Amino acid sequence: MRARHLVVAATLVGLIAGSVLPAQASTKGRKKQVDRQVGAAYDDLQESSQAVRDAAAALAELRDQLPKAQRELADAQNREQTLRAALAAAKAKVQQQQDRIDAVETKLAVTQRSMHLIIRQVYAQGPYGDIEVVLNAKDPSQFASALASVRTVVRNQNRTLIDLRAQQAELQAVKADLDRTRAQVAKQEAAAVVQRQRAQAAKSRIRALEIRRNRALRSAAAEKSRALSQYNALRAEQRRLAALLSGRGDGSAYPSGSLQWPSDGPVTQGVGPRIHPVYGYRSCHTGIDIGSGYGAAIRAAASGRVIERTSGGPYGNRTLIDHGGGLATMYAHQSRVLVSVGDEVSKGEVIGYVGATGWATGPHLHFEVWISGQPYNPMGWFGGSRSPVKC
């Protein structure tokens, strides 16, 4: 399509540069050539419009998606940070519990050694060793002293046994706590991995969205600049042609005679300025749209001669009829054209059928009235004021 752009641009530059040549004698031939180039250029412009519409739609979608992805990223990062803090606390708790287990095991080892000494003593002395110590006393004082010693030994043995059992129970409890904490750590580590993956996915999505957004912005800017430049060149060429053709009239500001309504249907769009829905620049609707059904007959508004028949571009299949005295009418978006350049037509004669060719969103007839190269409001011939189109 770029090569086609260059051809169209070069053609337009050549046409504009050649405007210094005598124009009146070659008006018809030159106009046909220009119309073909204008139609091709407008086709290109329509393609550009669609490209920008696509870019605009992509931008609108991205404007909705990007904040959502950024919120997802922030949420994932916050959750990951919370999990990291909880994981660090759990790991610290594991270390504390392990330190406690080490301390309890150390105490337990000491108690077990004491208990082993007691067991060896009991084994060495026999089951009645303490009783023999008491019975071997020679006097009451030795007996009392021996009995007190035996009681102390028994108390120490009992205390050692109690400590041993308590330390064993504590060790089991701390180990159970440690197992639970380790399970919690494993669960939190798995959750943290999931959150990291979600955060990474959100980052990747944001990067992809930003790439798409930047690409769409560049595409929209490039297409808008190119299409606007081409559109302005086309408008300049059309103004030059309008000036060129203005000499066809006889100087009458308002040619006499009435016009026939060209097709059954109401006016759905009048003349006047328009704001382009994609580019935002002002354009001019130089005719009226008549809401006729597809295939409805199109009739010549007055008798005259067909001076132009074109296809493609914004107007699609189009017919231009010269009625003399500077008055001309134009019929656009036809589905089928029945007349050719040079044909003489009568007022009310069917010259084609309503369609939706060119820049049309649905079937209708675009109807224009020109006087000496100036577009006029067609409604001036149907009860309104005959005035030039102002945009």
Residue 230 has a pLDDT of 56
Q: How many Cβ atoms sit within 10 Å of the Cβ of residue 62? A: 18
Tell me what pLDDT residue 202 has.
Answer: 72
Determine the Cα–Cα distance for residues 289 and 286; give it in Å rounded to an integer.
Answer: 10
Measure CA 36 to chain center. 38
- Can you point out the beta strands (E) in 61-124? none
Per DSSP, 391 falls in state: -
Residue 348 φ/ψ, nearest 5 degrees: 90, -5
Of 318, 383, 307, 327, the closest CA to residue 357 belongs to: 318
Domain residue spans of the chain:
1-13+27-248, 252-391
Give the model's pLDDT for residue 21. 36
In sequence order, what are the beta bridge partners of 282? 275
CATH of segment(s) 1-13+27-248 = 1.10.287
Indicate the angle between helix axes 2-17 and 27-125, nearest 10 degrees: 150
Q: What is the end-to-end Cα distance of the chain in Å, rounded? A: 32
Class of domain 252-391: mainly beta
Report the amino acid identity of residue 331: Y
* Pairwise CA distance, residues 235 & 326, whole Å: 21
The 3-state secondary structure of 188-226 reads HHHHHHHHHHHHHHHHHHHHHHHHHHHHHHHHHHHHHHH
Give which of 57, 61, 55, 63 is closest to 222, Cα–Cα.
Answer: 55
Q: Torsions phi, psi of 308, nearest 5?
A: -160, 140
Its pTM stands at 0.46
Tokens standing for residue 156: 């120490």
How big is the chain by its Cα radius of gyration, in Å?
Answer: 50
From the first residue on, what is the mean pLDDT of each consecutive set of 10 residues in the chain (391 residues)? 38 37 47 50 53 64 69 72 73 76 73 63 53 53 54 64 73 77 77 77 77 76 72 61 60 64 95 71 84 96 93 86 91 96 97 91 92 91 91 78
